[in-house]
């Protein structure tokens, strides 16, 4: 592998850290531009799709198609992308997810540079539910399933489940932000997070 590819795979971890303008804490690159553009586009498109479910059918369908394209690209990026974008970096054993959740509620969960085990499980749930919503929507809009009401029911249920998941997702983001005293929303905008002495910037092993 070339040096450049290696650096890309490391999630831009080299150069690993840079001083903030204040010169205090150092930060390290965690979210690559694709992940950030993906995330905020998804937020906007989901809001558009949700708001137009009952009316503005054309806009609704285009927002849904755009989401489907984003999801497909995210799956590819989850396999070949930068360190913290890869599925292997944030899919943990269910027991690790459960113990991370328990630790979180006691405000003593370990800090992760990428998604923590509970956050990673939520990312997978969000991606799968969104895929189900988009897939049922696309089938419904075609000729073959035009009168399939069961499909419409699944579409609506998946869209409603998305709302629940998003609520939990945002609550988890806020909880983890307070727990580790870092603004995770800002990190999803800038791509950078505070570097800690134990953060090597090197792909993490999965065991806490
Ligand atoms: C992926 C994001 C999507 C979300 C969050 C979403 C959400 C919704 C919601 C909330 C409704 C209203 C259900 C109701 O009250 O009956 C709806 C209806 C519908 N959606 Fe989607 N949808 C998405 C994608 C799509 C796609 C990709 C298509 C087709 C290409 C589509 C086609 C439709 C159709 C045909 C209806 C029924 C409209 C009607 O009969 O009034 N949706 N969707
Ligand atoms: C305004 C509301 C939202 C905020 C503040 C927010 C914030 C965040 C943050 C901070 C992360 C990174 C979590 C971490 O540090 O581990 C994240 C990841 C993620 N969020 Fe959201 N989010 C919001 C809405 C949404 C919505 C509406 C969706 C889905 C439609 C969504 C889907 C995702 C996904 C899939 C990821 C993983 C990104 C990746 O690895 O590619 N988020 N979100």
Q: Is the dihedral of CA 176, 182, 183, 185 positive or negative?
A: negative
Question: Could you give the strand order of the β-sheet that contains 26-29, starting from the edge strand earlier in sequence?
Answer: 18-19, 26-29, 192-194
Closest CA to 161 of 136, 134, 135, 125: 125
Using most ligand atoms within 8 A of CB, pick from 31, 80, 169, 183 the residue to mutate for ligand 2.
169
Q: Considering just the CA atoms, what is the radius of gyration of the chain in Å? A: 19
Question: Is 22 a residue whose pLDDT tops 90?
Answer: no
Query: How would residue 83 be classed by pLDDT, with cut points 50, 70 and 90?
Result: very high
Indicate the range of 97-111, 165-179, 184-198 predicted with least confidence.
Answer: 184-198
Mean pLDDT of 10-17: 41
The pLDDT score that the predictor gives to residue 146 is 81
Output the pLDDT for position 208: 33
Query: For the residues 72-78, what does the mean pLDDT come to?
Result: 98
Centre of ligand 1 to C-alpha 121, Å, is 25
Q: Omega into 171 within 30° of 0, i.e. cis?
A: no
Which pLDDT does position 199 carry in this prediction? 54
Mean pLDDT to the nearest integer, 180-186: 96
Q: What would the mean pLDDT of 11-33 be, rounded to a whole number?
A: 62
Residue 93's pLDDT is 97
pLDDT tens digits, 131-140: 999 999 999 9
Does the structure show a pLDDT above 70 at 32? yes
Q: Which residues contact 118 (CB under 8 A, 6 or more apart)?
A: 97, 100, 101, 104, 172
Phi, psi (rounded to 5 degrees) for 115: -70, 140
* Residues 101-136 pLDDT 10s: 999 999 999 999 999 999 999 999 999 999 999 999
Within 97-196, strands assigned E span 192-194
User: For the CA atoms of 78, 39, 32, 8, what is the dihedral angle to 10 degrees?
Assistant: 20
- Alpha-carbon distance 167 to 160, whole Å? 11
Q: What are phi and psi of 34, to 5 degrees?
A: -60, -50
State the average pLDDT for the chain: 87
Joined tokens for residue 32: 């690559």
Residue 170 has a pLDDT of: 98
- Residue 15, pLDDT > 80, answer no
Ligand 1 center to residue 38 CA distance, Å? Answer: 21
3-class SS of residue 76: helix
- In angstroms, the CA 204 to CA 84 distance is 9
pLDDT of residue 195: 86
Q: Which pLDDT does position 147 carry in this prediction?
A: 83
Nearest residue by C-alpha to atom 31 in ligand 1: 137
Q: Which residue has the tokens 């950030």?
A: 36
What number is the average pLDDT over the span 169-196?
95
Peptide bond connecting 15 to the previous residue in cis, omega within 30 degrees of 0:
yes
Q: Whose CA is nearest to atom 40 of ligand 1?
A: 54
* Least confident range of 79-83, 143-147, 153-157, 174-178: 143-147
Q: From CA 46, how far away is CA 67, in angstroms rounded?
A: 8
What pLDDT does residue 143 have?
85
Residue nearest to atom 32 of ligand 1 (CA): 137
Q: What is the pLDDT of residue 25?
A: 58
Q: Which residues contact 7 (CB under 8 A, 6 or more apart)?
A: 13, 14
């Amino acid at each position: 592998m070339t040096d450049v590819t290696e650096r890309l795979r490391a999630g831009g971890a080299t150069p690993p850290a840079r001083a903030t303008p204040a010169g205090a804490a150092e930060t390290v690159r965690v979210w690559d531009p694709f992940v950030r553009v993906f995330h905020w586009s998804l937020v906007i498109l989901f809001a558009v799709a949700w708001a137009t479910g009952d009316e503005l059918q054309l806009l609704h369908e285009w927002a849904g198609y755009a989401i489907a394209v984003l999801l497909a690209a995210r799956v590819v990026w989850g396999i070949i992308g930068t360190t913290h974008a890869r599925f292997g970096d944030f899919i943990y054993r269910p027991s690790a997810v459960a113990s991370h959740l328990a630790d979180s509620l006691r405000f003593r969960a370990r800090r992760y540079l990428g998604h923590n085990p509970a956050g990673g499980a939520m990312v997978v749930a969000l991606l799968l539910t969104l895929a189900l919503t988009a897939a049922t929507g696309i089938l419904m809009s075609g000729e073959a399933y035009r009168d399939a009401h069961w499909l419409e029911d699944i579409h609506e249920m998946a869209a409603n489940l998305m709302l629940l998941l998003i609520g939990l997702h945002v609550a988890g983001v806020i909880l983890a932000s307070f727990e580790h005293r870092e603004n995770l929303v800002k990190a999803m905008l800038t791509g950078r997070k505070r570097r800690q002495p134990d953060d090597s910037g090197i792909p993490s092993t999965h065991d806490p």
